[in-house]
Amino acid sequence: MKISVMADILEANDRIAAANKEVFGKHRNLVINLMSSPGAGKTTLLERTGEAVRDKLRLGVIAGDIETTRDSERLERYQLPVVQLTTGTACHLDANMIASALPHLDLSRIDILVIENVGNLVCPAEFRVGEDFKVVILSVTEGDEKPLKYPLMFRQSALLLINKVDLLEHTNFNLEEARANARRVNPDLEMMDVSCTTGQGIEAWISWLNQRYQRKFGNLKRA
């Protein structure tokens, strides 16, 4: 007898993800599942975003890490509602973990909820959590071939942020090559160059969030 454990796990996960999505819909939360390898700049992007959107849209964060509350502590400095999930050993967040975080957030006071997934370019892409969009960050220190080597994450994402472009001249990263590789695995993938250090591209990223929110829910109440 053959038992497909992974298929069962993903099916069970999808049911909880659908329930999460219903809760998010009721509260008019646009939900982004933010993924990247460790250190690509997820938390830094959220710090820059938190600074920039203050008073314009209400950002909330669920931060996933294997250990430590360092990321949530960084984000709390920007007065963002944030819940830290520590997975212990799991290399990704799943829908059940997100469901367990929801009672700790006042969703009625959040417009855009970003789920910062565990740093990992593989497993997070396999588990839906109830998000509207997956967004992947690739930083220029990681190599421009990564979309080809880790295609699932790039295939499943709506947007690719190429981060740390301030470091381009110190690397052999070829922006055109990276974009072409990403397009090869996902022709519909939108792409933006950003630097969380200089602020380049942060406005474009926030516009992208605003547009996605408006397409789903109409104008932001506080915009």
Contacts with ligand GTP, residue ranges (CB under 6 A): 36, 38-44, 71, 119, 163-164, 166-167, 195-197
For residues 16 and 135, which CB has a smaller minimum distance to ligand GTP in the complex? Answer: 135
Nearest approach in angstroms of CB 218 to ligand GTP is 31
Per partner kind, with CB cut-offs from 5 to 8 A, the member of ligand GTP, Mg ion, none near residue 197 is ligand GTP
Per partner kind, with CB cut-offs from 5 to 8 A, the member of Mg ion, ligand GTP, none near residue 182 is none
Residue from 30, 58, 61, 71 that binds Mg ion (CB under 5 A)? 71
For residues 44 and 156, which CB has a smaller minimum distance to ligand GTP in the complex? Answer: 44
Mark 113-128 as b/e (b = at least 16 C-beta within 10 Å): bbbbbbbbbebbbebb
Cβ–Cβ < 8 Å for 93, 118: yes
Nearest approach in angstroms of CB 168 to Mg ion is 22
For residues 163 and 210, which CB has a smaller minimum distance to ligand GTP in the complex? Answer: 163
Per partner kind, with CB cut-offs from 5 to 8 A, the member of Mg ion, ligand GTP, none near residue 39 is ligand GTP
Per partner kind, with CB cut-offs from 5 to 8 A, the member of Mg ion, ligand GTP, none near residue 38 is ligand GTP
For residues 19 and 66, which CB has a smaller minimum distance to ligand GTP in the complex? Answer: 66
CA distances from residue 146 to 37, 141, 171 in whole angstroms, order as listed: 10, 11, 15
For residues 70 and 109, which CB has a smaller minimum distance to ligand GTP in the complex? Answer: 70
Give the E-state strand segments of 23-81 in sequence order. 30-36, 59-65
Residue in this structure with the two tokens 């069962």, named with its chain if needed: 8
**Which phi and psi angles does 48 have, rounded to 5°?**
-65, -40
Nearest approach in angstroms of CB 162 to ligand GTP is 10
Nearest approach in angstroms of CB 168 to ligand GTP is 10
* Cβ-based neighbour number of residue 171 at 10 Å: 15
d(CA 53, CA 76): 15
Nearest approach in angstroms of CB 22 to ligand GTP is 28
Name every residue whose Cβ is closer than 8 Å to that of residue 58 and which is 6 or more positions away in sequence. Answer: 109, 110, 111, 112, 222
47 binds Mg ion (CB under 5 A): no
For residues 110 and 138, which CB has a smaller minimum distance to ligand GTP in the complex? Answer: 138
d(CA 193, CA 57): 22
d(CA 73, CA 96): 23
